[in-house]
Amino acid sequence: MNTVAYVTVDVFTSERFVGNPLAVIPDARGLSSEAMQKIAAEFGYSETTFVLPPEKSDHTARVRIFTPTAEIPFAGHPNVGTAFVLGQQQGIFGKPTGDRLTFEEDAGLVEVTLLRTDGAVTSTSIRAPASLTIGETIADDLIARCVQIDPRSIRKTTHAPTFASVGLPFAFAELDSLEALGKARPNAAVFAEAAARHKEDKTGFSLFLYLRSAENPWQIRARMFAPLDNVTEDPATGSASAALGAYLTSLLPARDADVKITIEQGVEMGRRSLIGVEVKKTAGTVNEVLLSGSSVHVMRGEVLL
């Protein structure tokens, strides 16, 4: 019987059993795509990562990311957590582990910086692999029916509900109160209707709802739902946070901006997460999006094949 080692970590937290859980297979050599998908489904986390030798020798590793139902080109918390796991190793596929890693992913190259305290990796920062793209707008009524809230609670002062991406597309809508955010409950049938109407999200229809105040516009509270991908609710969604930060920065009237954002997610699930996003805009164009957070080890063991 063959085995493959795994590690699980909670991401975007320094406290065990909160944040967003992630399973990492640090050496996935010999696993087929089918086996990877089965392992990801077995864990049932929002994502599981599989680490392989890089195709180019000057890169660190190739990282494949699977949800319970499909492989995806990029995601935030899997990169932050995978970098944290690999950063504990002395070497990665025969090369010493430095403080800067480069992951090959379907969405492009992901550059990683390991942040250490007394030599130990405490948090990681990644650069989003793709430029900001903004998709079509989405009807208020469709958003409201997806999560069973009053459409009048959707705030459109800054933007109408829309798609945005820095490697993985999400639907975004701003709400007007913590009460409305707390009432959100996904309706899978309406999500299926939304996915049929909007084809931008190939894994279905992933909806990121958020709230912020005029006093602290860069302190954001959020929830994310993707029931068509077997993720009823996600406690921390790094790729969505990065896309939202990039999109909101792009809407600022200033042609140059350097914005630091903190996104709090997962509170309603009892898995509070803190996601850091830094966005740089130069001459009217968002040209850098960094995503950062802490991680903590939870489990390790073997998968029997």
Under DSSP, the state recorded for 141 is: H
User: How many other CB atoms sit within 10 Å of the CB of residue 44?
Assistant: 13
Q: Mean pLDDT throughout 35-52?
A: 97
What's the distance, CA 163 to chain centroid? 15
| pLDDT reported for residue 202 | 65
In the chain, residues under CATH classification 3.10.310.10 are 3-128+294-304, 133-291
**pLDDT, tens digit (0-9, with 9 covering 90-100), for 273-301:** 999 999 999 999 999 999 999 999 999 99
The model's confidence at residue 26, banded by pLDDT at 50, 70 and 90, is: very high
Model confidence at 118: pLDDT above 90:
no
The model's confidence at residue 1, banded by pLDDT at 50, 70 and 90, is: confident
Residue with more model confidence, 122 or 221: 221
CA atoms within 13 A on the CB side of 115: 12
Model confidence at 203: pLDDT above 70:
no
pTM: 0.95
Options 3.40.190.10, 3.40.50.720, 3.10.310.10, 3.40.50.300; which CATH number does 3-128+294-304 get?
3.10.310.10
| pLDDT reported for residue 201 | 66
Under DSSP, the state recorded for 268 is: G
Q: At 167, list the tokens.
A: 């490697």
Q: Mean pLDDT throughout 218-247?
A: 96
Q: Judge whether 291 and 276 are in contact, CB under 8 Å.
A: yes
Model confidence at 143: pLDDT above 80:
yes
Superfamily (CATH H level) for 133-291 = Diaminopimelate Epimerase; Chain A, domain 1 (3.10.310.10)
Q: At 62, list the tokens.
A: 């190739």
**pLDDT, tens digit (0-9, with 9 covering 90-100), for 146-182:** 999 999 999 999 999 999 999 999 999 999 999 999 9
Catalytic hit among 15, 34, 42, 47: 47
Residue 47 designated active-site: yes
